[in-house]
Structure 1
Amino acid sequence: MLNNRRKIEAVFIDRDGTIGGDNTVHYPGDFELFSFSKELIRKLKSDGIKVFSFTNQPGISAGKATISDFIVELNGFGFDDIFICPHSYSEGCHCRKPNIGMLRSGAEKHNVRLENCIVIGDRWSDMQAASAANCIKILVKTGAGYSTLNEHYEKIEDIDIEYVAENLKDAIEWLYLQYEI
Structure 2
Amino acid sequence: MNVEAVFIDRDGTIGGTGHFIHPKDFNLYPFSKTALEVLKDNNIKTFACTNQNRISRGQATIDDFYNEFIAYGFDDAFICPHSPNDDCDCRKPKPGLLLEAAKKYNLDLSNTVFIGDVGSTDMLAAHSVGAMKILVRTGWGQSSLDKYRDTWVGIEPDYIAENLLEAVNWIVKLGTADKKQ
Structure 2 length-normalised TM: 0.94
Q: Output the CA distance in 1 between the equivalents of 2:33 and 2:74.
A: 9
| Structure-2 residue corresponding to 1:40 | 35
| Structure-2 residue corresponding to 1:71 | 66
The CA deviation at 1:156 is: 2.4
Q: Which moved more, 1:119-128 or 1:28-37?
A: 28-37
Contact 2:34–2:165 under 8 Å retained in 1: no
| Structure-2 residue corresponding to 1:8 | 3
Any idea what the Cα deviations from partners look like across 1:105-147, whole Å, max 9, x if unmatched?
1111111100000000001210000000110000000001011
Unaligned runs of 5+ in 2: none
Q: Output the CA distance in 2 between the equivalents of 1:40 and 1:162.
A: 19
Matches within 5 A, 1:1-181: 6-124=1-119, 125-179=121-175, 180=178
Query: Which structure has the highest helix share of the two?
Result: 2
The CA deviation at 1:150 is: 1.4
Structure 1 length-normalised TM: 0.94
**Count, aligned residues:** 176
Q: Output the CA distance in 2 between the equivalents of 1:108 and 1:45.
A: 21
Q: Output the CA distance in 1 between the equivalents of 2:68 and 2:3.
A: 26
Unaligned runs of 5+ in 1: 1-5
Q: Output the CA distance in 1 between the equivalents of 2:87 and 2:151.
A: 19
The CA deviation at 1:47 is: 1.4
Any idea what the Cα deviations from partners look like across 1:19-62, whole Å, max 9, x if unmatched?
00112111111111011212221221221111000000000000
Any idea what the Cα deviations from partners look like across 1:34-92, whole Å, max 9, x if unmatched?
11212221221221111000000000000000111111111100000000000001001
What amino acid is aligned across from residue 156 of structure 2 in structure 1? D
Asked which structure has the greater RCO (Cα within 8 Å, sep 6+), the reply is 1
- Secondary structure class of the residue paired with 1:26: coil
- Secondary structure class of the residue paired with 2:160: strand
What amino acid is aligned across from residue 172 of structure 2 in structure 1? Y
Q: Output the CA distance in 2 between the equivalents of 1:166 and 1:39.
A: 15
Aligned-residue identity in percent: 47
